[in-house]
Structure 1
Amino acid sequence: MGSTDSELALDLSPMMRIYKDGRVERLMGTETVPPSFDPKTNVESKDIVCSAEHDLSVRLYLPRNTHQNQKLPLLVYFHGGSFLLGSAFSPGYQKYLNSLVSEANIIAVSVDYRLAPEHPLPAAYSDSWTALKWVASHVNQQGPEDWLNHHANFERVFLSGDSAGANIAHRMAIKHGHEEKLEVVNVNGIILCNPYFWGSEIIAGEIDDISKREKGEILWQVACPSSVGVDDPWLNPAKDPNLGQLGCSRVQVFVSEKDLLRERGWYYAQKLRESGWSGNQEVTDFQGEDHDFHLFKPNCEKAVAMLKSIVSFIELE
């Protein structure tokens, strides 16, 4: 019999394997690229440690032709990966944010939060809030990072993410609106791409195959072992009594026809309307596409359409 360090505790292939000794083997989402200047989009990026306590870093993006002290809308982005995979430094996010920053003429901050299971939730939420507070520390142009001091317009702040990152963007807006407001920061809107929400109740149009649902729910158990289950308000906003206190005035949601999470995106929009939240929202459903298709096929017609829709959402006064 082999030693316990080679014995599997949980096989989540093709995503990852977890061994009995606690070792985690990630099978995807591990590639990273350094910050750089991208001549195609004319966007420059750099990495900053925003919290030494957990070695928490962010990647900043800025169009190179930005004039001195020119103020731009600020986007804070949270990457996806089921809280288990990925990085703000992944090549797909680098390409996506270069394009978005260029097209929308914005400054962006991409957050590299700690991953489960080594750091179970709420670590990702805590890290994301720490990063947001660091960003907000620049509101009087006296923060540690000159790009934010000189160019961030804190009257036009947007939170965005895909999959688990969209879940985080929602949670940050709830925290801002209900628990711990970011003073002197106007979170104008949140942009949720294929948001990772779930729940025990099978809603209309949702997959009802119990075995497939259970496989998906294991991912949440790994990410958040202390959770009460898939009806935890962190995963199921419909169960959150504070949903109506979402701390922004606009919401943009993107769902995809072939995505397992599609109906949850629509359900989120429905429950948000019913919650008493008084803002404006829009949902776009991309037919024939799957989860996070815009990252895997960034040049396809519908990915380009999504990018243009986000740009319009940001540009709307």
Structure 2
Amino acid sequence: MADAHGHRRRVALPCAVRLRLCLLEAAIDATQRRDGAINRPLFSLYDRRAPADPRPDAAGVSSTDVTVDASRGLWARVFTPPAPEHEHSSSSSTTTPRPVIVYFHGGGFAMFSAASRPFDAHCRTLCAGVGAVVVSVDYRLAPEHRFPAAYDDGEAVLRYLATTGLRDEHGVPMDLSACFLAGDSAGGNIAHHVAQRWTTTTTTPATPPPPSDNPVNLAGVILLEPYFGGEERTKAERALEGVAPVVNIRRSDRWWRAFLPEGADRNHPAAHVTGDAGPEPELQEAFPPAMVVVGGLDPLQDWDRRYAGMLRRKGKAVRVVEFPEAIHAFYFFPEFAGDIRKLVGEIRAFVEDSIMSKQSIA
């Protein structure tokens, strides 16, 4: 973005947002080494963690942590919504089963946690606003755990849900036939690849088929400004370099080097899924409808639109939701309350429409 004299100008943001962004960017740059490794003790000074709380908060949402696989340190935070008003007043002991959103946090595959305060608050907002059980996955981080560790962990959580259902632990019935994979930034990338794996008919010893009595059916994927890329520098990446916050070429290249296999470039299939620099990904008929959120001030926007175009070429249902003035990760800042309300409303509509569509087909 440039002014009338061709000089780059920064995106106009509220002072409180700019201050928090400065702290975030300083933490990223101070703790991220050239090879992508994170000085985790130093980063923890910035990354404050929210404890799980089984007591309902002001919105009626409660949370608990569950261990998915102790051998790899894999766990998830489960957020349960309040009962609707008509169920509070009902004399019936039954409660309507809730859809499930399995959520993957962002952070360049290398930072943050399901317990990080911005992600804890974001998942609470989704849980209350959509009326769904939200399972926030604390997947293993790069570069200590490179590709495909995060995808393996996402798939492991689905197998855990298929086996346990979480019903006894949380007291809220869950409709695993209406399961949605969601994520922001790098988490959106993970959601796509886990959906691709879960719906594929090809299996290997590392990725066995889902259980024969598998109750987990993917009803949709919800990608918030997902993190895809390639060797090409897109128009948006070039135009917003040095202008937009959080994501820039230098940081992005380090995150990809940290996550991708040693020696791989950004055209690796984990990053480049749009078919511009190689074959398009194989998607099975069962790959679910997608909702893709695009920010007009996000350097990733061209990749996100190309991703939606790839899905359409393959005959998949895609709902693209544009936020023309949105920066990357706008949904973490209360100052953007109007856009956040719109986002939650769009997600709720997508979830409800996807469930109704599956019911009508059945």
Q: 1:175 to 1:30 in 2, by over 3 A?
A: same
Q: Which has the higher strand share?
A: 1
Q: Deviations over 1:87-107 (max 9, x none)?
A: 001111221111211122111
Residue 162 of structure 2, aligned match among 136, 152, 169? 136
Alignment-derived partner of residue 157 in structure 1: 179
Alignment-derived partner of residue 235 in structure 1: 271
Alignment-derived partner of residue 8 in structure 1: none
Residue 79 of structure 1, CA deviation? 0.4
Q: 1:299 & 1:210 partners in 2: Cα distance?
A: 22
Alignment of 1:201-280 (within 5 A): 201-203=232-234, 205-207=236-238, 213=249, 215-226=251-262, 228-239=264-275, 241-245=280-284, 247-274=286-313, 276=314, 278-280=315-317
Residue 30 of structure 1, aligned match among 29, 42, 47? 47
Q: Which has the higher helix share?
A: 2
Contact residue 74 and residue 156 of structure 1 kept, 8 A: yes
The answer to whether structure 1 residue 166 and structure 2 residue 188 are counterparts is yes
The answer to whether structure 1 residue 282 and structure 2 residue 342 are counterparts is no
Alignment of 1:1-317 (within 5 A): 13-14=28-29, 16-18=31-33, 24-25=39-40, 26-27=42-43, 30-36=47-53, 37-65=55-83, 68=94, 70-138=96-164, 146-147=168-169, 151-178=173-200, 179-180=202-203, 182=210, 183-203=214-234, 205-207=236-238, 213=249, 215-226=251-262, 228-239=264-275, 241-245=280-284, 247-274=286-313, 276=314, 278-297=315-334, 300-316=337-353, 317=356
Q: Secondary structure at the match of 1:235?
A: coil
Q: 2:72 & 2:189 partners in 1: Cα distance?
A: 21
Q: Secondary structure at the match of 2:155?
A: helix
Q: Deviations over 1:168-225 (max 9, x none)?
A: 0000011012245543421010000010000113445442799964552222012224
Q: 1:261 to 1:144 in 2, by over 3 A?
A: closer
Runs of 5+ consecutive residues of structure 1 not aligned to the other structure: 1-10
Contact residue 82 and residue 128 of structure 2 kept, 8 A: no
TM-score, structure 2 normalization: 0.75
Residue 12 of structure 1, CA deviation? 8.9
Please, which moves more after superposition, 144-153 or 72-81?
144-153
Q: Secondary structure at the match of 1:253?
A: strand
Q: 1:23 to 1:197 in 2, by over 3 A?
A: closer
Please, which moves more after superposition, 298-307 or 284-293?
298-307
Runs of 5+ consecutive residues of structure 2 not aligned to the other structure: 1-25, 85-92, 204-208, 243-247, 357-362
**Number of positions where the alignment pairs a residue of Structure 1 with one of Structure 2:** 300
Residue 40 of structure 1, CA deviation? 1.6
Q: Deviations over 1:217-241 (max 9, x none)?
A: 2220122242621011111112454
Q: 1:228 & 1:244 partners in 2: Cα distance?
A: 23
Q: 1:88 & 1:59 partners in 2: Cα distance?
A: 7
For residue 257 of structure 1, what is the amino acid of its counterpart? G
Q: 1:155 to 1:312 in 2, by over 3 A?
A: same
Residue 243 of structure 1, CA deviation? 3.7
Contact residue 280 and residue 310 of structure 2 kept, 8 A: no
Q: 1:110 to 1:202 in 2, by over 3 A?
A: same
For residue 228 of structure 2, what is the amino acid of its counterpart? F
Q: Secondary structure at the match of 2:342?
A: helix
Contact residue 252 and residue 281 of structure 1 kept, 8 A: yes
Q: 2:67 & 2:167 partners in 1: Cα distance?
A: 10
Q: 2:346 & 2:38 partners in 1: Cα distance?
A: 41
Percent same amino acid at aligned positions? 28
Contact residue 184 and residue 223 of structure 2 kept, 8 A: yes
Residue 145 of structure 1, CA deviation? 5.4
Q: 1:54 to 1:234 in 2, by over 3 A?
A: same
Residue 30 of structure 1, CA deviation? 2.4
RMSD, matched Cα? 2.8
Q: 1:215 & 1:45 partners in 2: Cα distance?
A: 32
TM-score, structure 1 normalization: 0.85
Q: 1:201 to 1:43 in 2, by over 3 A?
A: same
